Structure 1
Amino acid sequence: MSSPGEQSGSETLEITKRLVAPYLSGWSLRIYLFLLKYVPGLLSFVFWNTGLTSLRKLKLEECPTNLPLPIPKEYFGIKETKVDEVKGLEIFEGNKSAQKNYSSEFLCANDFHEAYLTKKATPLQVCEILIGKIEESLLCNPPLNAIIKYEREDIIEQATASTNRYADNRPLGPLDGVPIAVKDEMDVKGYETNVGTSFINRGVIAKTDATLIERLKKQGAIIIGKTSMHELGLGISGNNPNVGTCRNPHNINHYPGGSSGGSAAAIASGLCPIALGCDGGGSIRIPSAFCGIYGLKTTWGRFSTKGEFSLDPTVAVSGPMSVSADDLALAYYAMAGKDDEDPNTYYQPLPTLSGLYNTENLSDLRIGIYKAWNKQVCNPAITQALNDFIEKLKSLGANIIEIDIPDLEEVRIAHVITICSEISTSGKRYKEIFFKCNYDSRCNVELFSLATASDYIIAQQLRTRFMRNLSDLFNKQKIDLILTPSTAITAPKIYPKSLKYGEADLETVSDAMRFVNFVNFAGIPAVSVPAGYDDKQLPIGLQFVAKWFDEATLLRIAKVSEEILGNKRKRPNDFWFGDLIPK
């Protein structure tokens, strides 16, 4: 008898469909938008042709789940963390030997911290060098366009305060003096929050920090600026003619990914070891995979959303992106936890880093593999990297279990309906969206405005069913982690004609999002880890998924993955600004 994901013959069923659509850019994209707006019936035909009406045939009896909170906790296997189980930032002080930098070419947070403690450098010296590097990254040809907004005086002020703390031997912790960049979707005092557009909040300067920024600053982190993003988060490439298209540090002719591409490129190019992104449909994990870094999509409700621009509130969460697994854990723990001003965070158990350095014996872990689904990659190098990692995990004692995840194609469509309905609704608050947005954003807003209230409700009914199915997988089948590729492709190529007007490339979008959107839809956490390179020397990423609020296991497996990859990570070919600590 065949498994649920396969036919009895040699053919494999398509578990998630690859969208087939023409590539459009330049004048063809502009003409397409014109036709969508003015040819009667065309918009409806395109909407139907994408398969987005297929949920209407489902007959679901479940009540809709509008927010992916696992309620009741007991049903979803969530236990309150005991205070004595919580290990905070002090875990790093007690495990110095485990904090091995697996590539000396990349500066980690600990490298900055040690340089400051030993008086090899000061935060002020580093930031003075860094400001020059940011300027250089924007002036080179083509520009990197990773950090696109920075305030020199603010950086110097933060760095001076950090320098004084180290001089007085009273640093605030391992993040004190560490440069961190922020996606332009989150308020940072003194900056505009433009969400990748040329018009939202233009001229409006944030007077306060978002909660996550406030928590990082309390640890002494230095916020060095805002990073570029795909406009309104409506894309996976990072193409953005209005604010400047970001480049992949590993190859300037390829995209860094989106929508948090600027944050990923800033890390990969050496401008900072940590950056913040936001993930509504893979927007942290996709660019992390494309740029060869670590990216954590947290559980929905784990991080506060106070001070963030609400684009797609029921699927999007913020999370850290970093050059190393240690940095990912550092940043995560500094930001996680309840916020009195965000009721959606009240439900979570205490965050913990327990088990972070338990990397030698994985016999306590059951890792689920959906073989038929994992075969749906477009690049054989990704399959090879996945298989190599599975063998290494087995050698460390991990139990590899074959699993099935039902309804993945329906979940893909339900996620698209949900995220695009929410972004379209958010965007339509601004009349400028129809004449100031990039052409691809306008096409998306027009197209997804056809989703009905009924479509949205059916999607949320499916969310109820899917969350219950995942609960059974994690709790009844005792699966601790699910392992998939992060993406079905490596970083896509930039076509010069797309730089002026943008592009519509639904096939690439489909390939990039194939393995990620079910995570956002269910509200569960996931991490993307570097896993090598393809034959073009473009990075490959693998994704681990855990149950709700179990980021600790994800951070542990990220550390394991770092050790598996070892010193195979490579400095990018085209951009490198990481020589920040004076020699």
Structure 2
Amino acid sequence: MADLEIAYRVMATPDPSFNSSALFPPPRPTASPSSKPKFGIYKTWFDRADSSVKAVCHEALDYLTSKLGYETIDIDIPFVHEGQRAHAMTILSEFATVLHGDMSDLTAPNRLLLSVGGKAPASDFLQAQRLRNHLMKHLAWLFERHPGLIVVTPTTPCAGWPIKGGVGDLKYGVSDGDQSIRSMEYVWLANFTGCPAVSLPVGYVNPIEGYGEGKIPVGLMGMAEWGAKNALIEFGYDGERYLNELLEGGRRRPEGWVDVLGLAGKGR
């Protein structure tokens, strides 16, 4: 989190050579609030995650609420399923427009996706933006009603994506639109509405039997109000504290992890 915070504060510093950028104040650390933010949970949506992922996320939430003073409240977010499809159609249409039909540098699955996205009629694109506006208005209402609110979900609803096609999938890749949409069950909302978000590793689960070895990481995502990045940074530090101090084994390094900086320091 220290690395993330430093990187954010450097990148978010206004560039004085650009008039539009210079209008914004530099990011500054804020004093810790007297009380922790509230976690907003849309239970129906949260529960769409696999049981193993939900269990890991709830363990982390239990610690953050019982030990660190966070509070959870129930919230509703309308049109999450329709919104996800509107988001997918929007980004595919925008990519297809930017490329002007030249997809020669893309892989075959991406060419297929963007070809479909490029066929979306303007009327559907406009309807998707109306839905985006509706979602943003609802989130603005939630943030106004609950100051400091952080909407929490699993980062992904499933623990990894097992490669079931064997050597062929490993060599040539695989296109599975349903699984791609499933993997983006939660992350699309921040991207579509422009809200800041952070994903925290909070635990590990076993891979699907017969597909892979070791442990699969599980993330907990927090999405805050526009401009409320300091609250997410504090949330990240608290999540890191849980991972390092309470979770058995702490943060695990991948089996093939290499200490690049350590080797560089030794002149290798």
Common fold by TM > 0.5: yes
Quick check: 1:482 aligned with 2:173? no
Could you state the TM-score of these two structures normalised by the residue count of structure 1?
A: 0.41
Q: Report the secondary structure of 2:167's partner residue.
A: coil
Amino acid at match of 1:390: L
Deviation at 1:449, TM superposition (A): 1.3
Quick check: 1:514 aligned with 2:185? yes
Instruction: Tell me, in whole angstroms, the C-alpha distance in 1 between the residues paired with 2:140 and 2:201.
Output: 28
Deviation at 1:347, TM superposition (A): 7.2
The sequence identity of aligned pairs, in percent, is: 31
Deviation at 1:479, TM superposition (A): 4.8
Quick check: 1:570 aligned with 2:242? no
Question: Does the CA-based 8 Å contact 2:38-2:146 persist in structure 1?
Answer: no
Q: Report the secondary structure of 1:483's partner residue.
A: strand
Report the equivalent of 2:219. Answer: 541
Give 1:195-210 correspondences, 5 Å limit: none
Instruction: Tell me, in whole angstroms, the C-alpha distance in 2 between the residues paired with 1:472 and 1:448.
Output: 31
Give 1:361-372 correspondences, 5 Å limit: 363-372=35-44
Q: Report the secondary structure of 2:73's partner residue.
A: strand
For structure 2, list consecutive stretches of 5 or more residues without a partner in the other structure: 208-214
Q: Report the secondary structure of 2:58's partner residue.
A: helix
Question: Does the CA-based 8 Å contact 2:57-2:219 persist in structure 1?
Answer: no
Q: Which string of whole-angstrom CA distances, capped at 9 and with x for unpartnered residues, describes residues 242-286 of structure 1? A: xxxxxxxxxxxxxxxxxxxxxxxxxxxxxxxxxxxxxxxxxxxxx
Deviation at 1:350, TM superposition (A): 4.0
Amino acid at match of 1:576: V
Report the equivalent of 2:49. Answer: 377
Amino acid at match of 2:41: I
Quick check: 1:582 aligned with 2:266? yes
Q: Report the secondary structure of 1:493's partner residue.
A: coil
Could you state the TM-score of these two structures normalised by the residue count of structure 2?
A: 0.85
Report the equivalent of 2:29. Answer: 353
Q: Which string of whole-angstrom CA distances, capped at 9 and with x for unpartnered residues, describes residues 442-480 of structure 1? A: 111211111111111111122221111100000123352
Instruction: Tell me, in whole angstroms, the C-alpha distance in 2 between the residues paired with 1:342 and 1:439.
Output: 42
Amino acid at match of 2:137: R
Report the equivalent of 1:554. Answer: 232
Question: Does the CA-based 8 Å contact 1:349-1:549 persist in structure 2?
Answer: no
Give 1:69-218 correspondences, 5 Å limit: none
Instruction: Tell me, in whole angstroms, the C-alpha distance in 2 between the residues paired with 1:348 and 1:457.
Output: 31
Question: Does the CA-based 8 Å contact 1:348-1:549 persist in structure 2?
Answer: no
One of 3, 11, 16 as aligned partner of 1:335:
11
For structure 1, list consecutive stretches of 5 or more residues without a partner in the other structure: 1-324
Instruction: Tell me, in whole angstroms, the C-alpha distance in 1 between the residues paired with 2:74 and 2:7.
Output: 33
Moved over 6 A (4+): none
Report the equivalent of 2:59. Answer: 388
Deviation at 1:429, TM superposition (A): 5.2
Quick check: 1:408 aligned with 2:80? yes
Instruction: Tell me, in whole angstroms, the C-alpha distance in 1 between the residues paired with 2:58 and 2:36.
Output: 21
Instruction: Tell me, in whole angstroms, the C-alpha distance in 2 between the residues paired with 1:342 and 1:463.
Output: 29
Q: Report the secondary structure of 1:547's partner residue.
A: coil
Residue 342 to residue 564, structure 1, CA distance change in 2 (3 Å): farther
Question: Does the CA-based 8 Å contact 2:36-2:70 persist in structure 1?
Answer: yes
Q: Report the secondary structure of 2:147's partner residue.
A: coil
Report the equivalent of 2:116. Answer: 447
Instruction: Tell me, in whole angstroms, the C-alpha distance in 2 between the residues paired with 1:350 and 1:575.
Output: 36
Question: Does the CA-based 8 Å contact 1:488-1:512 persist in structure 2?
Answer: yes
Q: Report the secondary structure of 1:533's partner residue.
A: strand
Residue 341 to residue 375, structure 1, CA distance change in 2 (3 Å): same
Deviation at 1:575, TM superposition (A): 3.6
The structure where helix makes up a greater share of residues is 2
Instruction: Tell me, in whole angstroms, the C-alpha distance in 1 between the residues paired with 2:251 and 2:91.
Output: 34
Residue 493 to residue 574, structure 1, CA distance change in 2 (3 Å): farther
Quick check: 1:496 aligned with 2:180? no
Q: What RMSD in Å do the two structures reach over aligned CA positions?
A: 2.3
Moved more, 539-548 or 404-413: 404-413
Instruction: Tell me, in whole angstroms, the C-alpha distance in 1 between the residues paired with 2:5 and 2:259.
Output: 24
Give 1:57-76 correspondences, 5 Å limit: none
Q: Report the secondary structure of 1:529's partner residue.
A: strand
Deviation at 1:555, TM superposition (A): 0.6
Instruction: Tell me, in whole angstroms, the C-alpha distance in 2 between the residues paired with 1:481 and 1:346.
Output: 29
Quick check: 1:418 aligned with 2:95? no
Instruction: Tell me, in whole angstroms, the C-alpha distance in 2 between the residues paired with 1:405 and 1:349.
Output: 32
Residue 362 to residue 508, structure 1, CA distance change in 2 (3 Å): farther
Deviation at 1:334, TM superposition (A): 0.5
Task: Please say which structure displays the higher CA radius of gyration.
Answer: 1
Report the equivalent of 1:462. Answer: 131
Residue 392 to residue 342, structure 1, CA distance change in 2 (3 Å): farther
